[in-house]
A and B are shown apart, each in its own frame.
Chain A
Amino acid sequence: MIRIEDYSPIVGQATIDELFLLAQRLQGNEIQNINSTAVGGGVAEILTRMIPLLTQLGVRSRWDVIKGDEKFFSITKKFHNGLHGVPVEVSHEEYDTFIEVNRLNVGMLSFADIVFVHDPQPVALVEERKNIGRRWIWRCHIDFSKPNERIWSFLQQFIEQYDTAVFSAPAFARKLAIPQVLGVHPV
Chain B
Amino acid sequence: MNEFYFKTKLDQTTLLGLTAKNIRELLKGIKAIPEASIYYHTHKYLHQHHFLSPEPPNDFAYWITEVLNEARLGEIMSSVDIVQFHTLQDLHTRFIEILSEHLRENDKSPTAPQGQEFHFMASRMFVLQTPYTATTPSEFREALQRVSVNSLYYHIFDAKLRLEKGENDFSRWFRDLGKTQLADEIARLDPYTYTLEGLRNRIIKLVERHDSN
Which single residue of chain A is at the shortest CB-CB distance from B151?
Answer: A14
Residues of A within 8 A of B89 (CB): none
Which residues 143-187 of A sit at the B interface, judged by CB distance below 8 A?
145, 167, 170-171, 173-176, 179-182
Per-residue contact bits, chain A 93-117, to B (CB 8 Å; 1 contact, 0 not): 0000000000000000000000000
Which single residue of chain B is at the shortest CB-CB distance from A145?
Answer: B115
CB distance B14 to A17 under 8 Å? Answer: no
Residues of B within 8 A of A145 (CB): 115
With A and B bound together, what is the CA distance between A14 and B148 in angstroms? Answer: 5
CB distance B147 to A14 under 8 Å? Answer: yes
Q: Given A12-B148, A21-B130, A22-B128, are A182 and B14 also a contact pair (CB < 8 Å)? A: yes
CB distance B119 to A179 under 8 Å? Answer: no
> Does B121 make an interface contact (CB < 8 A)?
yes
Which single residue of chain B is at the shortest CB-CB distance from A166?
Answer: B15
Residues of B within 8 A of A21 (CB): 8, 128-130
CB distance A170 to B119 under 8 Å? Answer: yes
Residues of A within 8 A of B115 (CB): 145, 171
CB distance A171 to B128 under 8 Å? Answer: no
CB distance A182 to B148 under 8 Å? Answer: no
CB distance A181 to B13 under 8 Å? Answer: yes
Tell me the total A-B contact number using a CB cutoff of 8 A: 53
Which residues 111-125 of B sit at the A interface, judged by CB distance below 8 A?
115, 117, 119, 121, 124
> Does B87 make an interface contact (CB < 8 A)?
no
CB distance A173 to B12 under 8 Å? Answer: no
Residues of A within 8 A of B117 (CB): 171
> Does A18 make an interface contact (CB < 8 A)?
yes
Q: Which of B13, B126, B130, B147 contacts A182 (CB 8 A)?
A: B13
Q: Which of A12, A18, A182 contacts B15 (CB 8 A)?
A: A182
CB distance A181 to B128 under 8 Å? Answer: no
CB distance A18 to B14 under 8 Å? Answer: no
CB distance B121 to A170 under 8 Å? Answer: yes
> Does B104 make an interface contact (CB < 8 A)?
no
Residues of B within 8 A of A173 (CB): 15-17, 119
Smallest beta-carbon distance B15→chain A, Å: 4
Q: What bracket does the count of chain B residues touching chain A fall in?
A: 20 to 34
CB distance A167 to B15 under 8 Å? Answer: yes
CB distance A18 to B17 under 8 Å? Answer: no
With A and B bound together, what is the CA distance between A180 and B147 in angstroms? Answer: 30
> Does A15 make an interface contact (CB < 8 A)?
yes
CB distance B17 to A175 under 8 Å? Answer: yes
> Does B201 make an interface contact (CB < 8 A)?
no
> Does B71 make an interface contact (CB < 8 A)?
no
CB distance B121 to A182 under 8 Å? Answer: yes
With A and B bound together, what is the CA distance between A54 and B115 in angstroms? Answer: 35
With A and B bound together, what is the CA distance between A172 and B75 in angstroms? Answer: 29
Smallest beta-carbon distance A152→chain B, Å: 13
Q: Given A171-B115, A171-B119, are A17 and B13 also a contact pair (CB < 8 Å)? A: no
CB distance B10 to A18 under 8 Å? Answer: yes
Which residues 94-140 of B sit at the A interface, judged by CB distance below 8 A?
115, 117, 119, 121, 124, 126, 128-130
Which single residue of chain B is at the shortest CB-CB distance from A184?
Answer: B13
With A and B bound together, what is the CA distance between A170 and B37 in angstroms? Answer: 13
Smallest beta-carbon distance A23→chain B, Å: 10
Which residues 21-35 of A sit at the B interface, judged by CB distance below 8 A?
21-22, 25
Residues of B within 8 A of A181 (CB): 12-15, 124
Smallest beta-carbon distance A178→chain B, Å: 10
Per-residue contact bits, chain B 145-169, to A (CB 8 Å; 1 contact, 0 not): 0111111000000000000000000
Give 13 A-B pairs besides A171-B115, A181-B14 with Cβ atoms closer than 8 angstroms: A12-B148, A14-B146, A15-B148, A21-B129, A22-B10, A22-B128, A170-B15, A170-B121, A171-B119, A176-B17, A181-B12, A181-B13, A182-B14
